[in-house]
Structure 1
Amino acid sequence: MFHFHVLPATISENQATVVWEKPTAIFNVAAYQIQLDNDCIAVLPANKTHFTVQHLHANTTYRLTLYCLSDEGERFDHDEATCSLTTMSPTEWIDVTRAPYLIDPTGATIATHLLQQAIDECSLGGTVLIPKEANILSGAIQLKSHMTLQIDGCLTASQNPDDFRFFDQKMYDGICNEDGLPLSRYEGWELYCYRSLINIGYIDPSDRQRIVCNNVRICGTGTINGGGNQLGMAMREIYANKEKFPQYVSDQQAGRRARGRLISTMQAKNIHMTGLKLINPPSWTIHMIYSDTIVSHGLTILSKGIDNGDGWDPDSSRNLWLFDTEFDTGDDCVAIKSGKNPEGNIIHLPTKGVHIFDLNIRGGHGIAIGSEQSGGVEDVYISDCVIKNTFYGIELKAQNERGGYIKNIHIRDCSIDRFMAHPVTYNADGQPAHDLPVISDIFLTNVTITGDGRVIELIGFSNKTNHDVNPVENVHLDMINVIATKETADMLLTYCRKIHLRKINVLKEETLITSIEKQDIESVASEPMSIYL
């Protein structure tokens, strides 16, 4: 028996998405079969552990069964799992290009107020639709609980930064400053930023764990275009002289952290994003702050050439799902965060329960955990991802003064550029934490690393002033195939403890060069230790 369940945030009146964990009791699963009530509706390869059931009837209960299949297509006895779902009732649809809103579908006229009016007037559970062929030009919009924004055409960001302030400050009294900018979080600090193009929720500093917005879906077959560097630079230039926290600008680029994002969720729960192409954010693409249960899948995220063009950034959030998504970004494709010292340590809200699988990452910096992780990051599961042509592959990182922790990280059945768990020297704002960061309990299983030079780097944290050391600890590398693209590949270990190596193979042009069958390294002192593979 294994875990097979519907993601509640994905249930609509006609479809829902199911996910499951790979069974650990059987190792030769060749495929999965999904049955809806009594009918077989899908047979999926072994590296696909998700499926969206479509063409369902509204307000109807269904039973789903998942079977594991052998190479011969036979079901394994007693290895099946079931779940049920009930679809939503039919709801109101609002086409914003029709009366009474009559938004210009050519994108020639700014439509922020009319689009926001349609959202505000949408009935409980209703859908606001941007239809195919329509290009809607807008500034920041605020979604509300129990609604869907469906974009089958294009939502395009205005190039005017003033369109990303609150235009009705009385309505949002207490959550924005005198310039109409809301409280947000950027690179680990809470500060006032321009609004994102799409906003869900807001930050309540008196209770950051209170959910202020829930049950929102952003979906469709269209595109969201965030305005790119042109909008981002305009935001920076205007706000540079009004920098509220100049002591936090370690990069000496005033106004850089005042930019909005493409989509922001703040203190929100049960948010579903699917089907869309997300391009040209003014900085990060999707940023989730103090949020719970966010499901993102079936997306294409493109931000090549964007300054800080991150793709998907959970920040002190929990129960997060990202799968079936393609990335080509101008920075980290995924960046898992939880605040910066000392604020992240004080707020102390970790990011935990992150499930990432079936990604195609074809450019950018790769998957990062940190460097803003002062509130802690734990329970991250990454599987069946292809990560190519990135700078860092999968990187666990923290600044030496950051504090916090990264622990219980599982990486399985992936193809990556390299793997690193180490300190970084940049982005060192704020008062140092009392303790060094901790990175521990890391598990890599059946991972292929393609590259040359240093393909694995494990370096712990040290304080030269008082000689404290926090080693990278309890790392398990099991069934790792290193495909060397040049002459050599190596692993660097410094300040490590309890490093377990099992079946590490190095190949060049499909020929086995060397192999480590089993090696346990109990401790590595301050002098670097290189293992030439």
Structure 2
Amino acid sequence: MTTTDVNGFAPRNLVSPPASQTDTTIALVWDKPQPADDVACYQVYVDGKIQGICTATDYTLTGLEPSQVYEVQVCAVSRSGAVSRPGPALTASTKPGSERFDITSFGAVADSGTNNTAAFQAAIDACTPGGTVYVPEGVFGTGAIYLKSHMTLYVAKGGVLLGSGNPADYPVMTYRWEGREQLCYASLVNTKDSGGERHEQITIAGEGTIDANGAALFKGEMAEKKGYRGRAVCLRNTDYVYLKDITVRQSPAWCVHLIYCNHVSANGISIYTKNDGYGRRYENIFNGDGLNPDSSSDIYIFNSMIASQDDCIAIKSGRDEEGRRVGIPSRDIRITNCLFKSGFGVAIGSEMAGGVSNVQVIDCSFEDVYSIGTVKAPRGRGAVIENISYENCTLKNYSLEHEDCEWFRGAINIDQFYSHIEYDADLREVVNEGTSIIRNISFRNIVLDTYAGNAVFMAGLPESPLQNIVLENVSAIGRYGLKAYNIEGLALRNVSVMSRMDEDYQFHNTRQV
């Protein structure tokens, strides 16, 4: 490896995210050098030999041998072609090879009309620790299935795990719905109630598809009303989860829901909750979030695509008194190098009564998405949202499907009057345990162009103003410009906001620094 110093910088904080190792692959992420303006690409070395080149701050090593230890280094390459010295080396290992349990060996039939629930569950139950339940090419219908610790569900290219449209195939169970423990239909892919024990080491991978058949299932579940709607994938009480390359689509509600999960990686996944990716919209689905970490921590989401009917990613931690009593926050979440193609961007809340902290959204693109980021905490939630940053993101929204309303008010959106059609920004209420605090929120290096509504909307409560809000290197144009209410410490640095309709800036009870 021949290197030179490029202004003395090198990539920083190289890690292999939690659980992101298989028997032949190892995923890597790192932070950009500082400053990063001159970086053209990165070179990835394995045991001293170049393995690949990339422009993003993630890379997945492939073609590795099982049960092997590898030394990995990453160098930055400047626009002039100079190669930096590498950052500290990372030692990472592949997993052992795994025993395969093909669902067809347990009686599964690849025609969409057969209910293969028993065959799926038999394969899962037979799977030995570290083993793989294998779904080959073909369409395999099934009802709810339940994963267990130390296993991989692998859906091969051309394979489809197709959910039944019959609510009877999804037993009613108790788990979190919109921030409270309530009766819900089981999801298509679940973990069982753990009886106080935690699951661990669950991987869902492959180039195939998990299709929850939500357009049909939604109607059945809403008509029967034995519980709230299920999800496509709902993993609970699980440590070390890896979602790799899989496509998940058409949930009757939120698509991928992670409840009380820690040490999670999502790499190269695709989620469709609004349309099938070919212009055909799913019918009878609403509240169709893409991926929701809920009271979950230490999460890496990278190199992925979400086309959502609602929030693309929504980070949550329980609702009101129950959420405060449970008191499990969502924190330490890193979202990088992702593409969002419809919906409402990366949201924090509104169910956040256990607290949310330390969230980074970096190097992401938003196409016909209403907002880059929404931080929402209406009265009654309580707790704190803090240390949230959006950096190096672009948004182009030429869709007029949605316009400003009580649910979404800006392409950059911080809203403590969320869900209220009418509100008085001057009317104070008594501060109590349900009064939320939002502080230390930043948007840096943002370019956005939206025809739908406000470019920037930021509103704190008069009794609990937003604290320490930073917009830096932001260039924005919207139907309306920037509106700011009740902010204690708003920093605008190199900010240009333009309105197509009215005045560019409106400030009310806002102290700038």
CA contact (8 A) 1:183 1:203 kept: no
3-state SS in 1 of match to 2:59: strand
* Residues in 1 aligned to 2:490 and 2:175: alpha-carbon distance in whole angstroms: 39
Tell me if the contact between 2:455 and 2:478 (Cα under 8 Å) persists in the aligned partners: no
In the alignment, which of 89, 109, 113 is matched to residue 82 of structure 1?
Answer: 89
Amino acid at match of 1:155: L
User: Is 1:36 paired with 2:43?
Assistant: no
Matched-pair contact (CA < 8 Å) for 2:482–2:504: no
The structure-2 alpha-carbon separation of the partners of 1:20 and 1:470, relative to structure 1 and needing over 3 Å to count, comes to same
Equivalent position of 1:10 in the other structure: 20
The unaligned stretches of length 5 or more in structure 2 are 1-9, 275-281, 398-410, 422-430
Question: 1:149-206 deviations in whole A, cap 9, x for unaligned?
Answer: 10010100011111111xxxxxxxxxxxxxxx222101111112111111125365xx
Residues in 2 aligned to 1:406 and 1:67: alpha-carbon distance in whole angstroms: 35
Q: Give the 5 Å matches for 1:394-409.
A: 394-409=373-388
Alignment partners' CA distance in 1, 2:222 and 2:481: 42
Does structure 1 residue 422 correspond to structure 2 residue 415?
yes
Name the amino acid aligned to 2:271: I
Whether 1:325 aligns to 2:304 is yes
User: In structure 2, how many angstroms separate the alpha carbons of the residues matched to 1:236 and 1:203?
Assistant: 28
Q: 1:109–1:146: structure 2 CA closer, same or farther, 3 Å change rule? A: same
C-alpha contact 1:184 1:203 (8 A) present in aligned 2: no
CA distance in 1, matches of 2:231, 2:75: 41
Contact map agreement 1:341 1:433 (CA 8 A) in 2 = no
Alignment of 1:188-227 (within 5 A): 188-202=179-193, 212-227=198-213
- With 390-399 and 52-61 compared, the bigger mean Cα shift is at 390-399
- Where structure 1 has 5 or more consecutive residues not aligned to the other structure, the ranges are 166-180, 243-254, 463-468
* 1:396 maps to amino acid: V
Matched-pair contact (CA < 8 Å) for 1:504–1:515: no
TM-score normalised over the length of structure 2:
0.86
Is 1:49–2:19 an aligned residue pair? no
Select 2:273's aligned residue among 272, 287, 303: 303
**Among candidates 346, 371, 376, match of residue 355 of structure 2:** 376
The question of 1:457 aligning with 2:457 is answered yes
- For the 8 Å contact 2:489–2:511, the answer to whether it is kept is no
CA offsets, 1:217-241, max 9 Å, x none? 10111111101132122122212xx
Letter in 2 for 1:117: A
Residue-by-residue CA offset, 1:336-376 (whole Å, 9 max, x unaligned): 11111110111111100111111111111222111111111
**Letter in structure 2 aligned against 1:234:** G
Corresponding residue number in structure 1 for 2:328: 349
The alpha-carbon deviation at position 105 of structure 1 amounts to: 1.4
Asked if 2 retains the 8 angstrom alpha-carbon contact of 1:273 and 1:296, the reply is yes
Residue 92 (structure 1) aligns with: 99
Which residue in the other structure is 1:72 paired with? Answer: 80
Instruction: Note if contact 2:455-2:497 (Cα within 8 Å) is conserved in structure 1.
Output: no
Deviates more, 1:331-340 or 1:23-32: 23-32
Give the fraction of aligned pairs with identical amino acids, expressed as a percent: 28
Judging changes above 3 Å, is the alpha-carbon distance between structure 1 residues 112 and 162 closer, same or farther for their aligned structure 2 residues? same
Q: Is contact 1:159-1:227 (8 Å) kept?
A: yes
Letter in 1 for 2:160: C
Give the 3 Å change call, closer, same or farther, for CA 182–427 of structure 1 in structure 2.
farther
Aligned to 1:285: 255
Is contact 1:201–1:267 with CA below 8 Å preserved after alignment?
Answer: no
Does residue 152 of structure 2 align to residue 148 of structure 1? yes
| 2:233 match | 263
Tell me, yes or no, if the aligned pair for 1:202 and 1:212 is still in contact at 8 Å.
Answer: no
1:515 is displaced (CA, Å) by 11
Structure 1 residue 529 displacement after superposition = 9.9
CA RMSD of aligned residues (A): 2.5
Q: Specify the alignment match of 1:496 in structure 2.
A: 487
Q: Distance in 2 between matches of 1:200 and 1:20?
A: 31
Asked if the contact 1:94–1:128 (Cα under 8 Å) also holds between the matched residues in 2, the reply is yes
Q: 1:191 to 1:203 in 2, by over 3 A?
A: farther
Q: Hey, what's the Cα distance between the residues in 2 that align with 1:38 and 1:501?
A: 45
CA 436–86 in structure 1, closer or farther in 2 if over 3 Å, else same: same
Give runs of ≥4 in structure 1 deviating > 6 Å: none
Count residues with an aligned counterpart: 465
Distance in 2, Cα, partners of 1:147 & 1:440: 40
Matches of 1:433 and 1:203, distance apart in 2: 35
Shift of 1:82: 1.6
Determine the structure 2 residue equivalent to 1:173: none
1:475 matched residue in structure 2: 469
**What does residue 130 of structure 1 align with?**
135
